[in-house]
Amino acid sequence: MDNRPVGLFDSGVGGLTIWRATKSLLPQESLIFFADSGNVPYGQKSPAELHDLTARIVRFLQRFDVKLIVVACNTATVHALDHLRTAFPEIQFVGVVPVVKTLASQTHTGTIAVLSTPATAESPYLTGLIEEFAADKRVLRVGIDGLEDAVESGEARSPQTTALLERNLAPVVESDADVVGLGCTHYPFLRDRIERILGPGVRIYDPSEPVARRVRQLLEQRDALAQDEHPTYRFFTTGDPAHVAEVASDLLRFPVTGVGYADI
Ligand code: DGL
C-alpha cells in the first residue's frame, strides 16, 4: 500500500480526460494535475523545447513525492518520454499514444484515421506505430491546428470550434474510415461533436481508460495502490489559475478549486 499521490501533466487542461478516467478507476488515489497552460500548445514546440519543459514539470512534481507520473499528453509522450525515462530513471512513467494497434484490429474497411496535433501527426513515433501495427491499412493522419487552444480558452462548445472540426474532419467523412482514434488528450472533450460530424458508422477510440488501467496495473505490480478514503486532488498551472479553474470545472463538471500557480 502506498498513499503517495500520482502526478499527471499536460500542456493544458486536455490531460484532465486522463485525470478523470484515473479518478474514476482508482477512487482512492490522490492526484496532482499539472497544466502547463503558460506554454500551450505543445503541438508547435520543437522536441528540444519539449524535453526541457517536461523535465521541469517532472522536477516540480517530484517535490510532492509522487509515486508515478502520467504524461497525459500525446505530443509530449511521442517527443519526450524516452528522454524523460533516461533523465529520471527513478521515476515510473506512463505515457499516452494514438491507439493505432486497436484501430488496426477493429477496422472492417481497412481504413483508419488518427486525429492529433500536427506535431504528433508528423512524428516519427507515429510512423513507427503505423509501420508496426497498421502496415496493411490505409491510415489518415489528421493533424489539426488550434483545437486544443479552443478547449483551453473555454470555447469547446462554440460554433467556431464546430466549424474548425468540420473542416478538418472532411477528409475522414469523405473516406471509408470506420474507426477513428483521438490522438490528443484535449479531444475527448469534443467527442460528442466529432461523433455527430462523422456519423453513426464510425467508432471513436479514446485512450483515457486504457491509460488509467495501465496505471492501476503498474501500481498493483509494485503493491503501491493507495487505500485512502479521503484522497486529495491538487491542481497547478503555469498559466492563469482562475482561468484554468473555471475552464476545468466546466469541462469536468466537477468543482476544480484552489488551482496553484507554478513557476517552473
Ligand atoms: N493535449 C496534448 C496532446 O495530447 C497536446 C495539445 C497541445 O498542446 O498541442 O497531444
For residues 119 and 76, what is the distance between their CA atoms, to the nearest angstrom? Answer: 10
CA dihedral defined by 83, 85, 88, 90, rounded to 10 degrees? Answer: -170
Q: How many CB atoms lie within 10 A of CB 108?
A: 9
For residues 10 and 90, what is the distance between their CA atoms, to the nearest angstrom? Answer: 21
Nearest to 124 by CA among 81, 79, 91, 90: 79
- Position 97 scores a pLDDT of 95
- Domains of the chain, earliest start first: 6-96+208-261 (3.40.50.1860), 100-205 (3.40.50.1860)
For the Cβ of 184 lying below 6 angstroms from any atom of ligand 1, the answer is: yes
Question: Residue 43 C-alpha to ligand 1 middle, in angstroms?
Answer: 6
For residues 188 and 194, what is the distance between their CA atoms, to the nearest angstrom? Answer: 9
Report residue 58's pLDDT band, with 50, 70 and 90 as the boundaries: very high
Question: Residue 20 C-alpha to ligand 1 middle, in angstroms?
Answer: 16
For residues 133 and 110, what is the distance between their CA atoms, to the nearest angstrom? Answer: 12
Is the pLDDT confidence value at 44 over 90? no
Over the stretch 70-114, which tens digit does the pLDDT of each residue have?
Answer: 999 999 999 999 999 999 999 999 999 999 999 999 999 999 999
Q: Are 103 and 126 in contact (CB under 8 A)?
A: no
For the Cβ of 17 lying below 6 angstroms from any atom of ligand 1, the answer is: no
Nearest to 94 by CA among 72, 75, 116: 72
Question: Residue 186 C-alpha to ligand 1 middle, in angstroms?
Answer: 7
For residues 207 and 99, what is the distance between their CA atoms, to the nearest angstrom? Answer: 7
Nearest to 79 by CA among 34, 108, 44: 44
Alpha carbon separation from 241 to 43, 64, 185, 246, 262 (Å, rounded): 22, 19, 20, 9, 9
Over the stretch 135-154, which tens digit does the pLDDT of each residue have?
Answer: 999 999 999 999 999 999 99
- Position 244 scores a pLDDT of 97
For 194, the grid coordinates are 466529432
Query: Among all residues, which ones are annotated catalytic?
Result: 73, 184
Candidate of 20, 115, 117 to mutate for ligand 1, largest count of ligand atoms within 8 Å of Cβ? 117
For the Cβ of 5 lying below 6 angstroms from any atom of ligand 1, the answer is: no
Over the stretch 164-197, which tens digit does the pLDDT of each residue have?
Answer: 999 999 999 999 999 999 999 999 999 999 999 9
Candidate of 186, 187, 211 to mutate for ligand 1, largest count of ligand atoms within 8 Å of Cβ? 186
What's the mean pLDDT when you consider all of the chain? 96
